Chain A
Amino acid sequence: MQIKNWKNWFDEAGDMSRFAGRFFSQWFRPRYEVAEFFRQCFIIGYKSLPLVGLTGFIMGLVLTMQLRPSLIDYGVESQLPAMVGIAIVREIGPVIAALIFAGKIGSSIGAELGSMKVTEQIDAMEVSGTNPFKYLVVTRVLATTLMLPVLVMLGDAISLYGSYLGVNIRGVTSFQLFWTQVFDNLSFSDVLPAFIKSFFFGFAVGVVGCYKGYNSRKGTEGVGRSANSAVVLSSILIFIIDLIAVQVTDIFELN
């Protein structure tokens, strides 16, 4: 039983890798589903902004207020904007945005494709001559891959504004001084790795959601399970990719 579980696990991992490979072999080939791609971008990117913005704002505010006491202990309260700025841009912004994104988009993709699978809409699409993989999977994965970095950037901006408000709850800092302090302490090695890894986060969420939905089985029960496992797996993958990303940036001495 134990061996069978392990076998299943590896079987699924291999299947998912093949699924991702299939995406790469298909996404640049005509014909392009441009209208569907933009529609997905709108749903995945634009519609997720309020949620990502709200969590980002709250994270910025809370992080600032939580860090203040320890910084006061060290007598470097004035470094609060710099510290929060680096934390948000390097780590908090991308990871929080990606997790929220995984919860919202991963589940919806998994449920949507799962229900299409179990209602045999995908098979019908194939019969009618449309490439379902191109129409459903490639557009969604591309949309998640490209939209998450944009979401991360906007989430960072909103987060920093929340942090500015957080600094001003107990102290007085002009927006200009806050701005200068944040950017004086940021460097390209803070922004670029975070920006690049958010593409991988988006790709992971899209691929896992599509794979789980595309391979949904056992009727409506399977739809719920694929939605659930899409969220869980993409969240875990986000942390694993984060771990790999920090190691890679360390190798390239960008830290």
Chain B
Amino acid sequence: MAKQTISNIKLGVFVITGLLFLILLLYMIGKNENLFGSTFRLRAQFGNVQGLTSGNNIRYAGIQVGTVKKVRILNDTLIEVVMLIETKMKDFIRKNAVVSIGTDGLMGNHVLNITPVAGTADLVGDNDILPVKKMESVDDMMQTLAKTNEDVAVIASQLKNTVLRINSSTAVWEILDDKTVPQHIRSSLINVRSATAKASRLISDLQLVLSDIRDGKGSLGAIITDSSFAQNLQAALLRINEVGADADTLAKTINSLTRQVQDDLDRGGGTANVLLKDSTFARNLRESILNIREGTDGFNEIMEAMKHSFLFRGYFRNLEKQKKANLLLKQ
């Protein structure tokens, strides 16, 4: 009988272990399908659900939060998806969160993504309708891809033409084959480099000059910065202006004078006319000058005679001595 009891215990352990595993299996599956635990409902309305069915997973920011309860048609363009979400997510999902249909991986099952959006909004309640975002379906992507492919084909054919033309052109190949081109380019680059170095030096000099000018050094600086200089300049300019005006009047006076002289000359009266136009006056003047020359010649003879006369010889000798003394003093 003791043996019987032991075998019963073993049997009990065996059966209970088996049943526990079954229960665990069913519980784990039920947990995945949200059969246990409290849930609440959310709704979203799509134009096309792309094959979403009840039981598909729902993710909030990538976390599994529930499953699709059912998909039902409201009218010909509107399909409503009812979602079962874990109650604890009520504290996180807001009314402005966007629902979109995606796939798990590239070829996987459809999933419903609830994406949080920046900005404030109230937390969701039971049976709320969330806004949806239309995702690019695979068909749309394929159509876009087809268009892109056509464009690429056109571009490729044109590119082919270009390449063919480049290949057939001798000029391009000459340039490419020319071994001296790199050297030229290199020397050009060296020149450019030295030019830029010079330019930079020039610019630094200019900068120095400009800073000097700004600081008021030099005449240009004085012109630009010194206010008293500017006043002086203004005064000078005023003076120049006045002088200009004076010169104007002077010129007018000269003008009237010359006009008067001209009139005198034309009319035959006055001193100028006599000086310039009267021929008898000229002859008289020449004779007078001849007379003066003869007079001075006579005077010279008289002076020579006086030097040799005993009366005046002493005077002239003193004069000569004084001249020599002056000459010695200078040396």
User: CB distance A46 to B11 under 8 Å?
Assistant: yes
Known: A45-B11, A46-B7, A46-B11. A186 touches B18 (CB 8 A): no
- Chain A residue, CB-CB nearest to B6: A42
B25 is contacted by which of A41, A147, A186 (Cβ under 8 Å)? Answer: A186
Contacts of A195 in B (CB 8 A): 22
Candidates B11, B32, B55; contact of A183 at CB < 8 Å: B32
User: Which residues of chain B are near A237, meaning CB under 8 Å?
Assistant: none
Known: A151-B18, A183-B32. A188 touches B7 (CB 8 A): no
CB of A153 within 8 A of CB of B32, answer no
Known: A184-B32, A186-B29. A45 touches B15 (CB 8 A): yes
- Choose among B14, B18, B29, B33 the residue that contacts A149 (Cβ–Cβ < 8 A): B18
Question: Smallest distance from the beta carbon of B123 to chain A beta carbons, Å?
Answer: 28
Q: How many angstroms from the CA of A218 to the CA of B215 in the assembled complex?
A: 135
Interface string of A53-75 (1 = CB under 8 A from B): 00000000000000000000000
B23 closest partner in A (C-beta): A153
**Docked-complex contact B15 and A150, CB < 8 angstroms:** yes
Chain A residues with CB below 8 A from B19, complex form: 150, 153
Asked if B11 and A38 sit within 8 Å, CB to CB, the answer is yes
Asked if A157 is at the interface (CB within 8 A of a chain B CB), the reply is yes
Please measure, in the bound complex, the distance between the C-alpha atom of A188 and the C-alpha atom of B29, giving whole angstroms. Answer: 7
Say yes or no: B29 contacts A150, CB within 8 Å: no
Give CA–CA (A132, B51) in the complex, Å: 60
- With A42-B7, A186-B25 known as contacts, the answer to whether A49 contacts B14 (CB < 8 A) is yes
Q: How far is the CB of B263 from chain A (nearest CB, A)?
A: 123
Query: Which bucket holds chain A's interface residue count?
Result: 20 to 34
B14 touches A46 (CB 8 A): yes
Q: Mark B17-35, 1 if CB is under 8 A from A, else 0.
A: 1110110011011101100
**Contacting pair B32 A154 (CB below 8 A):** no
A39 at interface by CB-CB < 8 Å: yes
A interface: dominant SS = helix
Known: A46-B7, A183-B32, A186-B29. A153 touches B21 (CB 8 A): yes
If A42-B10, A157-B21 touch, whether A183 touches B15 (CB-CB below 8 Å) is: no
Distance in Å from the Cβ of A92 to the closest Cβ of chain B? Answer: 15
**Chain A residues within an 8 Å CB radius of B17:** 154
Task: Tell me which residues across on chain B come within 8 A of A151, comparing CB atoms.
Answer: 18
Among A89, A153, A184, the residue within 8 A (CB) of B18 is: A153
Residues of the B chain whose Cβ atoms lie less than 8 Å from the Cβ of A191: 22, 25-26, 29
Main secondary structure of the interface of B (DSSP, over half): helix
A 94-134 to B, binary, CB cutoff 8 A, 1 in contact else 0: 00000000000000000000000000000000000000000
- Decide if B8 is an interface residue (CB 8 Å cutoff): yes
Partner of B22, one of A35, A153, A187: A153
Interchain nearest-CB distance for B48 vs A (Å): 24
The docked-state distance in angstroms from the alpha carbon of A147 to that of B14 is: 9
Tell me which residues across on chain B come within 8 A of A242, comparing CB atoms: none
Q: Within residues 141 to 164 of chain A, which ones have a CB less than 8 A from any CB in chain B?
A: 147, 149-151, 153-154, 156-157
| Closest residue of A by beta carbon distance from B57 | A184
List the B side residues contacting A149 at CB < 8 Å: 18, 22
B29 and A46 contacting across the interface, CB-CB below 8 Å: no
Q: Select from chain A the residue with minimum beta-carbon distance to B26.
A: A191
One digit per residue, 1 when the CB lies within 8 angstroms of any chain A CB and 0 when it does not, for chain B 165-202 equals 00000000000000000000000000000000000000
Also in contact, A187 and B14, with CB within 8 A (given A42-B7, A153-B21)? no
**B63 to nearest A CB, angstroms?**
14
- A154 to B7, Cβ gap below 8 A? no
| A183 close to B14 (CB less than 8 A) | no
In the complex the two chains form, what is the Cα distance from A45 to B29 in whole Å? Answer: 26
Contact across chains for A38 and B22 when beta carbons are under 8 A apart? no
Chain B residues closer than 8 Å to A187, beta-carbon distance: 29, 32-33, 55
When C-beta atoms are compared, the residue in chain B nearest to A41 turns out to be: B11
State the Cβ distance, A192 to closest chain B Cβ, in Å: 8
Residue of A nearest to B22 (CB): A153
B residues within 8 A CB of A35? Answer: 4
- The chain B residue sitting closest to A195, CB to CB, is B22
Candidate in B8, B15, B25 with the most chain A CB atoms within 10 angstroms = B25
Question: Which residue of the partner chain, among B14, B25, B30, contacts A150 with CB atoms under 8 Å?
Answer: B14
Which residues of chain A have C-beta atoms less than 8 A from B32's C-beta? 183-184, 186-187
Chain B contacts for A154, CB-based, 8 A:
14, 17-18, 21
Smallest CB separation, A110 vs chain B (Å):
23
Q: Shortest CB–CB separation between residue B66 and chain A, in angstroms?
A: 14
Q: Give Cα A45 to B21, complex, Å.
A: 16
List residues of chain B with CB within 8 A of the CB of A38: 8, 11
Residues of B within 8 A of A41 (CB): 11, 15
Report Cα–Cα, A195/B29, bound state, in Å: 14
On chain B, the residues within 8 Å of A46 by CB distance are: 7, 10-11, 14
10 closest cross-chain pairs (CB), A and B: A150-B18, A183-B28, A153-B18, A42-B7, A42-B11, A46-B14, A153-B21, A153-B22, A154-B18, A157-B21
Residue pairs across A and B with Cβ atoms less than 8 A apart, 24 shown, are: A35-B4, A38-B8, A41-B15, A42-B7, A42-B8, A42-B10, A42-B11, A46-B14, A89-B25, A153-B19, A153-B21, A154-B14, A156-B21, A156-B25, A157-B21, A183-B32, A184-B32, A186-B25, A187-B32, A187-B33, A188-B29, A188-B33, A191-B25, A191-B29
